[in-house]
Amino acid sequence: MKKIGKVFTRFWAILREIGYRYRYMWQRLGLALVTLFFTTIISFFLVRNIPGDVILSYAQELAIQRGITIEEAMRLAVQILNYDPEANIFVQFFEYLGGLLRGNLGSSMYVLDVTVVRVIRQTLPWTLFVASIALILSFLIGTWLGTRLAWRRKGAEEIAVSSYIVVSNSIPDYLFGLLLLYVFAYTYPIFPTNGNYDIMTDPGINLPFIGSVLYHAALPILALVFTQVGNWALMMKGSAVGVLGEDYINAAKARGIPDRIIVKKYLKKNAMLPLITSLAISFAYLFGGSTLMETIFNYPGIGQQFASYIGRLDYPMIQGILFFISSVVIFVNLIADSIYSLVDPRVRRDA
Amino acid sequence: MKRQKNQSILPFIAAFATILVTGCGSTSLASSEGPIVLSEEERTFNILHNWDKVGMKNHLNAGTNVGPLAWFSVESLIQYVRSTDEVYYILAESVEHHSNSTSTVTLREDATWHDGSDYVADDMIAYYIVNQGQVTNYMTSLEKIDDKTVLINWKPQMEPNERVKTLLLAVDRAGAVQYDEFKTFVDEANRILTSSPQAPSGYTGWAPFGRIASQSNINDYMANYTAFKNYNPDWFVGTGPFKLSRKTETEMLLVKNEDYWAADSIKFDFIKATNSMNDLNQKYNMLSSGAIDYQDGLAPEATMNQILLNNPKMAHYKMFDPGAIGVVFNLAKKMQVNGVAQPIWTDKVREAFQYIFDREEVKNAGNPYAITSWRPLMTMAPSEAQKYMSPDKYAEIETFTHDEQTAANLLVEAGWNKADGWWYNGGTKVKLNIHYDGSHPGMSGAAVAVQAALTSFGIEAILKKGADFNSWFGTASSDAWAHELSICWTDLNMSFSFPTGSFIYAYKDITAKVLHLPRFTEDDPSTTVIETNGFDLTLDKADGSGTFRVIDVLDGMYYLNDDDLTEVVNDLVLGVSKKNYGIQFYQNVTGSFINIGKLGGVPLQDYLETSRNVTYVPNFEDDPDNFYAVARLNFHFAYAVPFISGDLYPARLDD
């Protein structure tokens, strides 16, 4: 009995130790859950207050599609939609919350078997594909440019790159997307105007399909890269300038180590560290904010699908996707915070 | 090291080369049919449409948007052309109406489904049994005579006239339900229907096939209907001239149905559709670059000219839209007059407003191709009113010129006064909010012109933009939030042109709610259950013999003969026009962009030689052939009719 007591005391001490040592992370986790909860409440009631009558909206769509009167279309709409406009909003909220706890993010008012999970499964890979390639390319190019700017702070190269940064930061990404589309798809039809792959290719691991996917993604990726590179270059420059003042850089120079090695091994690696956490956060925001770019290129990612559900006032789908995107942003922020605390013990201690 | 760097670039170069080689590949095929060999591109009709990217099901009634399949794959017994009511017999070879409240539908011998099976009487009956649409409320039963013949029994107390019977049959897509494919749901719907009691004799309320369902039966029916719409067949259920071949989220390819009964008339082999997000920029760019061959609707004048300049093969035709755009007053709105809340829109004020606007200018701002109207709100577009009213009564509708002095005199009579260049009512400066649907270019343009005219006249006017029709209507019909006036459809027929469509839009669906007309209440002893919550409006009869309640004539219009119909339309239109409830600015005109380099057989060739922006709008009285031919150029109005009839074909066949 005494032994059991001892084991229990020891176990409790370990738990307390873990709790104390990682108290910063527990706090962040708690905060993340609270944020998610309030996000869910706010998004539910915001979505329900989007102006417009969903039955009338659908009836109008049916009337136009089928050439029938609004009256007949209203009758059909009530029959077809899985939505009761008279239901109490608080009852609907608790049903929604119950669904979330059971892992059910919701299903479309128009077609029951179109669930949020199905939409995410079908559209998210396309968004991730474009967003991740764009992010990696812009990160690599941006950090490379930022390092060069920090290392050589005078000359034509700095003027050229700085000008580019100013221009790319001033032009909204959607405007650049439109410009690319106009020049390279409509005026000079080098790239396709829309879509994710050619209809005549068979999806799968085959060269025509892979080539078609890359071909269709080229313009959206280019638009995102162009507008992201400037930010990364600016952040990298700031970070690298700070590193340049460190003693170990001066020591390396004094030891006669070639510039190329100093830049690569001493400067770039150390300056890039703080940017790694930003990379995670940018990734979350990039696919959360992909709606406009996907709409411009008619690219069937989650952002475009989200926009179409807003247009049709498909409340469960809007809520579900909003909840998913919010969760990802909050989760990625939590990971970034955790990385900070692991990398820098002062953050843990301050907590 | 340098060598290594160069090698690391190679995969990127290879990837880029793959992108270009794969993407820019040519897909030219030649056909050996006929003396003229057309390339695949010449035999492909490219359009922009939209459909559900996720979860689109393989039948029309699933509640998913099936895009171009609704135009080219799913058919009716009879197809009507919206705005002209021209009818084409599609799945039905003929429909004979008999004097004993019956009609015989003879189906085409060679009408088939896309899976190869015959379209038969069971299929037609299955559609109506499972969907129970509006027309079934006028039927008592459908009887199968043989595989290709169906007898319709109409309710004697609600028997529509022959024209309406035909049009009602034309509304439904009877080629959307194949009995064998949907047997389970059709049989269950039939079981529920036959277990419902017969409606009492003479009953005119909602009773599909003369049956009044109990709540339990309604629940069963809804459950069955939900299962029906969620069912997803292996093939797209249709009978039309084009079949679904391939589909991605953004592209759809339809191929010609070689077994189609009119296959010889159809000269295009493919329809390639791009899924649009209703992005105007995308639409205009695709028209300019020749990526699509057709698009219905208008574009702002400068944009249209630019499209036609960029694409020398593109032309734009205009056709009547059975609707008019103007102002609707919110009759319930009040303002503080000498400290007391008083209605703004008194008789005199409404009359005064008819004179304030130069309607030609408003029309030019809204739609320069439209036809200016100088009349008040009539609940019917001028083209329709002319068609359904007697000429003498149509001429009696008052017209209003642009006369600001008369407007000012009437406002003074109404108790308003002008000081410092602004109008006041009982000491309160008049300030009007103009609410409009910002997604509609015509209404947006007209709203700006109306604001300018009011400001110039001395009335402060503020524009309130609704994001789309839905958000505009949500506010405009609300008791709490509606603004003083709306720029909207004052008169519109969404369905076939029979006049009931316009009046239902006005008195049941939209206009009356925006006008905030008073409603019947349950407390009113003269109100029947059916009338409760209907709009309480009494109008003068056109012949001066007294008054009538609008609600009493609306539901009976389908049963009237031509003379009685003219009389009722005279009463309704002339009666409401005297109320000045709104201002009709212009009869709308819509249009179609047509690639005349791709599509042969287009009308108005003489006009095309002068300008590819064809501004001539043929009307029925003066130019009936072109009136019908131009309306058929709008696929949104006519669906597959221009191909089935052989009107349109690849342009190179003219060579």
For residue A349, being part of any structural domain is answered with no
Q: Using the beta-carbon criterion (under 8 Å), do A68 and B252 form an inter-chain contact? A: no
Residues of A in contact with B80 (CB under 8 A): 67
Which of A291-295, B132-136, B373-377, B440-444 has the largest mean confidence?
B373-377
Residues A158-171: tens digit of each pLDDT = 888 888 888 888 88
Say yes or no to pLDDT of B182 above 50: yes
Q: Using the beta-carbon criterion (under 8 Å), do B248 and A197 form an inter-chain contact? A: yes
Of the listed ranges A252-256, B168-172, B442-446, B606-610, the least confidently predicted one is A252-256
B510 closest CB neighbour out of A70, A122, A313: A70
Residues in chain A: 351
Say yes or no to pLDDT of B331 above 90: yes
The whole-number pLDDT of residue B64 equals 87
Residues A318-351: tens digit of each pLDDT = 999 999 988 888 888 888 777 766 666 665 555 5
- Region A27-42 average pLDDT: 89
Q: Using the beta-carbon criterion (under 8 Å), do B250 and A194 form an inter-chain contact? A: yes
Q: What are phi and psi of B438, to 5 degrees?
A: -70, -10
Q: What CATH code is carried by the domain that includes residue A240?
A: 1.10.3720.10
The whole-number pLDDT of residue B632 equals 95
The whole-number pLDDT of residue B25 equals 38
Half-sphere exposure of B465 (CA within 13 A, CB side): 11
Q: Find which of A60, A111, A312 to mutate to test the B interface (most B CBs within 10 Å of its CB).
A: A111
Sign (positive/negative) of CA torsion A131, A137, A143, A148?
Answer: negative
Q: Using the beta-carbon criterion (under 8 Å), do B289 and A295 form an inter-chain contact? A: no
Say yes or no to pLDDT of B638 above 50: yes
Same domain (yes/no): A154, A257: yes
Say yes or no to pLDDT of B404 above 90: yes
Residues A216-227: tens digit of each pLDDT = 999 999 998 988
For residue A351, being part of any structural domain is answered with no
Say yes or no to pLDDT of B78 above 90: yes
The whole-number pLDDT of residue A263 equals 84
Same domain (yes/no): A234, A175: yes
The whole-number pLDDT of residue A109 equals 85
* Complex-level ipTM: 0.79
Burial class (CB in 10 A: 0-12, 13-18, 19+), A14: exposed
Instruction: Give the residue, A62 or B451, on which the prediction is more confident.
Output: B451
* Confidence label for B274 from pLDDT (cuts 50, 70 and 90): very high
The whole-number pLDDT of residue B149 equals 98
Q: Using the beta-carbon criterion (under 8 Å), do A199 and B289 form an inter-chain contact? A: no
Tokens 């056109």 belong to residue: B542
Burial class (CB in 10 A: 0-12, 13-18, 19+), B594: buried
* Confidence label for B525 from pLDDT (cuts 50, 70 and 90): low
User: In angstroms, rounded to a whole number, what is the distance separating the alpha carbons of residues B426 and B489?
Assistant: 32
Instruction: Give the residue, A151 or B53, on which the prediction is more confident.
Output: B53
Q: Would an 8 Å CB–CB cutoff place B117 in contact with chain A?
A: no
The whole-number pLDDT of residue A194 equals 87
8 Å CB contact between B92 and B78 = yes
> Two tokens at A215?
């071909």
Q: Which residues, 6 or more positions from B11, have their beta carbon under 8 angstroms from its beta carbon? A: none
Same domain (yes/no): A75, A129: no
The domains located in chain B, with CATH, are 75-221 (3.90.76.10), 237-319+590-654 (3.40.190.10), 322-516+581-586 (3.10.105.10)
Instruction: Give the residue, B11 or B627, on which the prediction is more confident.
Output: B627
Instruction: Give the residue, A194 or A290, on which the prediction is more confident.
Output: A194
What is the number of other CB atoms lying within 10 angstroms of the CB of residue A97? 14
For residue A329, being part of any structural domain is answered with no
Residues A222-261: tens digit of each pLDDT = 998 988 898 899 889 888 888 888 888 888 888 888 888 8
For residue A273, being part of any structural domain is answered with yes
The whole-number pLDDT of residue A346 equals 61
Same domain (yes/no): A126, A80: no
Q: Using the beta-carbon criterion (under 8 Å), do B496 and A67 form an inter-chain contact? A: yes
Q: Find which of B26, B47, B54, B131 to mutate to test the A interface (most A CBs within 10 Å of its CB).
A: B54
> Two tokens at B338?
């000498």
A60 closest CB neighbour out of B229, B247, B469: B469
8 Å CB contact between B91 and B77 = yes
User: In angstroms, rounded to a whole number, what is the distance separating the alpha carbons of residues B239 and B72?
Assistant: 9
* Confidence label for B21 from pLDDT (cuts 50, 70 and 90): very low
The whole-number pLDDT of residue B493 equals 87
Long-range contacts of B111-115 (CB under 8 A, 24+ apart): B111/B239, B111/B261, B112/B239, B112/B259, B112/B260, B112/B261, B113/B178, B113/B237, B113/B238, B113/B239, B114/B73, B114/B235, B114/B236, B114/B237, B114/B238, B114/B239, B114/B240, B114/B243, B114/B244, B114/B257, B115/B178, B115/B235
Inter-CA distances, B299 with B317, B609, B613, Å: 12, 21, 11
Q: Find which of B5, B88, B248, B272 to mutate to test the A interface (most A CBs within 10 Å of its CB).
A: B248
User: In angstroms, rounded to a whole number, what is the distance separating the alpha carbons of residues A173 and A221?
Assistant: 11
The whole-number pLDDT of residue A337 equals 75
Q: Which residues, 6 or more positions from B141, have their beta carbon under 8 angstroms from its beta carbon? A: B153, B209, B210
Q: Which residues, 6 or more positions from A193, have their beta carbon under 8 angstroms from its beta carbon? A: A181, A185, A186, A298, B274, B282, B285, B286, B289, B291
For residue A298, being part of any structural domain is answered with yes
Tokens 């102006």 belong to residue: A51
Same domain (yes/no): A214, A297: yes
Instruction: Give the H or E element holding residue B240.
Output: none
Q: What percent of chain A has pLDDT over 70?
A: 90
Q: How many domains does chain A have?
A: 2
Helices (H), B280-330: 280-289, 301-310
Q: Using the beta-carbon criterion (under 8 Å), do B469 and A118 form an inter-chain contact? A: no
B19 closest CB neighbour out of A60, A185, A218: A218
Residues B206-248: tens digit of each pLDDT = 899 999 988 888 889 888 988 998 899 999 999 999 999 999 9
Model pTM score:
0.84
Task: Return the SS3 of B461.
Answer: strand
Instruction: Give the residue, A249 or B393, on which the prediction is more confident.
Output: B393
The whole-number pLDDT of residue B155 equals 95
The whole-number pLDDT of residue B528 equals 55
Residues of A in contact with B63 (CB under 8 A): 80-81, 110-111
For residue A97, being part of any structural domain is answered with no
Range 459-478 of B in CB contact (< 8 A) with A:
466-471, 473-475
Say yes or no to pLDDT of B32 above 80: no
Same domain (yes/no): A63, A163: no
Inter-CA distances, B334 with B326, B331, B339, B432, Å: 21, 8, 12, 11
Cα A34 from chain centroid?
21
Q: Would an 8 Å CB–CB cutoff place B64 in contact with chain A?
A: yes
Q: Using the beta-carbon criterion (under 8 Å), do A70 and B509 form an inter-chain contact? A: yes
Same domain (yes/no): A125, A11: no
> Two tokens at B625?
């052939």
Q: Show the CA angle centred on residue B47, arms to residues B44 and B52, nearest 5°.
A: 120
Say yes or no to pLDDT of B593 above 70: yes
Of the listed ranges A62-76, A123-137, B625-639, the least confidently predicted one is A62-76
Sign (positive/negative) of CA torsion A240, A245, A249, A255?
Answer: positive
Say yes or no to pLDDT of B6 above 80: no
The whole-number pLDDT of residue A289 equals 63
Q: Using the beta-carbon criterion (under 8 Å), do A69 and B504 form an inter-chain contact? A: yes
8 Å CB contact between A49 and A63 = no
Distance from the Cα of B526 to chain A's closest Cα (Å) equals 25
Helices (H), B324-403: 347-356, 359-366, 382-388, 391-396
User: In angstroms, rounded to a whole number, what is the distance separating the alpha carbons of residues B104 and B141?
Assistant: 12
Residues B599-626: tens digit of each pLDDT = 999 999 999 999 999 999 998 888 999 9
> Which among A35, A67, A84 is the end of a domain?
A84
Distance from the Cα of A190 to chain B's closest Cα (Å) equals 7
Domain hosting residue A30, numbered range? 2-84
The whole-number pLDDT of residue B23 equals 41
Same domain (yes/no): A57, A139: no
- Region B425-433 average pLDDT: 93
Q: Show the CA angle centred on residue A143, arms to residues A184 and A278, nearest 5°.
A: 100
Q: Which residues, 6 or more positions from A146, have their beta carbon under 8 angstroms from its beta carbon? A: A232, A233, A234, A235, A236, A237, A238, A239, A240, A271
Instruction: Give the H or E element holding residue B94.
Output: strand B92-97
Same domain (yes/no): A122, A58: no
The whole-number pLDDT of residue B531 equals 55
For residue A324, being part of any structural domain is answered with no
Same domain (yes/no): A140, A271: yes
Instruction: Give the H or E element holding residue A105.
Output: none
Say yes or no to pLDDT of B20 above 80: no
A110 closest CB neighbour out of B20, B27, B63: B63
For residue A106, being part of any structural domain is answered with no
Q: Using the beta-carbon criterion (under 8 Å), do B22 and A207 form an inter-chain contact? A: yes
B18 closest CB neighbour out of A79, A190, A214: A214
- Write out the DSSP string of B28-40: --B--SSSSPPBT
Q: What percent of chain B has pLDDT over 90?
A: 71
Residues in chain B: 655
Q: Show the CA angle centred on residue B315, arms to residues B254 and B624, nearest 5°.
A: 90
Same domain (yes/no): A62, A142: no
Same domain (yes/no): A198, A286: yes
B471 closest CB neighbour out of A51, A68, A218: A51
Q: Using the beta-carbon criterion (under 8 Å), do A52 and B27 form an inter-chain contact? A: no
The whole-number pLDDT of residue B256 equals 97
- Region B165-179 average pLDDT: 94
Q: Would an 8 Å CB–CB cutoff place B332 in contact with chain A?
A: no
The whole-number pLDDT of residue A13 equals 82
Residue-averaged pLDDT of chain B = 90
